[in-house]
Amino acid sequence: MNRRDFLTATLLTPAVIAAAKRSDPEEAGIVDLQAAMAVGKESSFSLTKKYLRRIEQIDRGGPAINSVIELNPDALDIARQLDRERKDGHVRGPLHGVPILLKDNIDTHDKMRTSAGSLALAESIASKDSGVAKRLRAAGAVILGKTNLSEWANYRGDRSTSGWSGRGGLTRNPYALDRNPSGSSSGSAVAVAANLCAGAIGTETDGSIISPSMVCGIVGLKPTVGLISGAGIIPISHSQDTAGPMTRTVRDTAILLGALAEGEPGKAHANYTHFLKPDGLRSARIGFARRYLRGPLTTKLIENAVEIMKHAGAVIVEPFDDAPLGRAGSGEGDVLSYEFKAGINAYLKGLDPKVPVRTLAELIEFNEKHRDKELLYFGQETFIRAQSKGPLTDKAYLEAVEKCRKFAREEGIDGLMGKHRLDAIVAFSGGPAGKTDLLHGDRGVGGSSTPAAVAGYPNITVPAGDVFGLPVGISFFGRAWSEPTLLRLAYAFEQLTQARKPPRFLASVV
């Protein structure tokens, strides 16, 4: 796309010129930043410097939320090159020159490590870019750095503390510093919430985008598995893993998804912003899954959110028999154990020979040898269970896969949506954040991520309000490849409620 076509199609409308005035990193959206660069108020270089300065002040200084595990030493040089391209009339698209952070389990072939937060991979530099990194670079994004995460994407021990990794330490929730950011895409959620980047990429197996997004007051989308390339992402489960966008607005999520999505027409779209409509809830049939509600305060908040949807013209299907959703996780544990062992062995085998571990067995041994740093707060029971599993041809694995498909898809999401003629299912995402407890591990904050995660189907969470200043989210999920519908519904809800509030970095709340 040349510069003239890009500006005519996307930028220089009166509304967008006005948006150029909102280019400071504080709550600025991707459209705001792009507009500021288009009219010369900002450059990619100046924006990158602003975000780097904000990371230095907020992430590493007070209040020290510790969301960024490593900065890209070439970020400013990349920004300069993208500015030269813009000056020469070449703008690649809506991400051109926009600073983005990546979770530290997504390979980048540059000077940064990809470690999953572990000491075992602390010096591992990928031999090539992941599919995600390739797409972002091609779209003109500035990869600003890597974010901290729950080590090994929260797939190591039974009593883990989300947001902690041996390499990166503990990430803190920006709304209350003693509260947990959830995980495993903890750093990505916190960095977005704290305005340390224009947007970030997380990954999810079950809840790892949705959960941190909801407790950090941002939008998070877990796409249909296969919509975004999984190549070069440290694996847990090939049937459930996916990368996904994490941003402050639904529009920014749609922009990032358009840059990352690939595949056949009708399933992947280059521009998801076309589906965003302020009246997108009108006449939509939505099943309200009440089974995930918990506690009087959050229940009232979510019920009010559903009432807002009704007033906007949505048909809320109640009573809604959501019992099948409760069986969606049957078999998930075995599937993840088998697939993790196979996937991590293949990933480790392909790393540079200098990396000290080549198999899951060696990784377990490494952690034992370094238990004073790696096993300081919790163990590696999940690793050990996975190591005990056989190959993916085992009858137990195949039966578990079939059980997941039956309960999450056939009798779960597909079955319920067909029976009630639904466009989507809406549910309490979870929250508010619990206090971080390194001694006992995570405290449950509820959540409805499992059906869509096990099915491999899309799920988006949007801020729905707060309880004592701590964010609570609401989720829309549905059939495979229904991202356009979910984005439409989520955008309309967001426009009606404007529920997101920037964090205030309080020491504590109630």
What amino acid positions are annotated as catalytic residues? 103, 184, 208
Element (H, E) at 477: strand 470-477
- Quick one: angle between helices 332-349 and 395-404, nearest 10? 120
Largest CA distance in the chain: 62
Alpha carbons 202 and 185: distance in angstroms, whole number: 5
Rounded to an integer, what distance in angstroms lies between the CA atom of residue 251 and that of residue 72?
26
Determine the Cα–Cα distance for residues 203 and 427; give it in Å rounded to an integer: 21
Burial class (CB in 10 A: 0-12, 13-18, 19+), 4: exposed
Instruction: Tell me the C-alpha distance between 6 and 228, whole Å.
Output: 24
User: Torsion-angle region of residue 194: left (phi > 0), alpha (psi -120 to 50) or beta?
Assistant: alpha
Residue 94, classed as helix, strand or coil, is coil
- 285-288 and 169-170 strand pairing: unpaired
What single string gives the DSSP state of each residue in 356-378? S--SHHHHHHHHHHTHHHHSSS-
Contacts of 261 (CB under 8 A, 6+ apart): 223, 227, 228, 268, 269, 270, 272, 483
Tokens (6 digits) for 165: 């990794």
Work out the burial of residue 82: count CB atoms within 10 Å of its CB; fewer than 13 is exposed, 13-18 middle, 19 or more buried.
buried
Phi, psi angles (nearest 5°) of residue 83: -65, -40
String of DSSP letters for 319-343: S---GGGGGTTTTHHHHHHHHHHHH
CA 301 to chain CA mean position, Å: 23
